[in-house]
Amino acid sequence: MTKSFVGRGIASAPLLVVTLLSFPVGMATAVADGCPDAEVVFARGTGEPVGPGGPGQAFFDALTAQLPGKAINLYPVNYPSTTDYANSAKAGAADEVAHVQSTVASCPNTKVVIGGYSQGAGVADLTSHELSPQVANHVAAVALFGNPQSSYAKQLGDNQIPPINPSYSSKTIDICLPNDNICAEGGSIIAHLGYVPDSTNQAATFVAQKL
């Protein structure tokens, strides 16, 4: 059974992440003025290839399937996603903050969705504290998977990443699978690899209601 809550976390543990599914990054519907209805900004997990990662692309595909006719863009956060967890996540947050600010400035009517898997969820945690309240008002939803909040994960990140900003609570879905040792105590890394497709579909339903 999955559970949803506001995330607490740091950069993720050694995930040995294997991208089980590979999908193309894309936009659901073309728009003439260059401003989509929604901009999904997603940070991949540790060790995943450049792009949104398996859970990120699966979440995006599920979201666009639930919102036919809407123009939804996917921006994969540009960051190292290495095992230098704290510094890697901070680099991701810097890129994410810059992209969200740019999107809001150029497309003020576009709704922003922030998402992340594993270390990428730590990136979102950091971002939530760095966006100004004015920019944060444009963030319609946050979707996190395997958010690194366990004591094990916190040790790996040197306790440098705060929990997600409480002001995002009502628009955040943070899914932690039972026995996932990155977001919960105990368990193993095996559960951490199981967020596609059930959890990504669940999060897509939550986010679609915010858009």
Active site residues: 118, 180, 192
Cβ contacts of 165 within 8 Å, gap of 6 or more: 128, 129, 136
Cβ contacts of 145 within 8 Å, gap of 6 or more: 55, 59, 115, 116, 117, 118, 121, 175, 195, 199, 200, 203
Q: For residues 184 and 76, what is the distance between their CA atoms, to the nearest angstrom?
A: 26
175 strand-pairing partners:
4, 145
Query: Which of 167, 175, 107 is closest to 137 using CA atoms?
Result: 167
- C-alpha 17: how far from its chain's center? 16
Decide: 19 and 47 in contact? Cβ < 8 Å: no
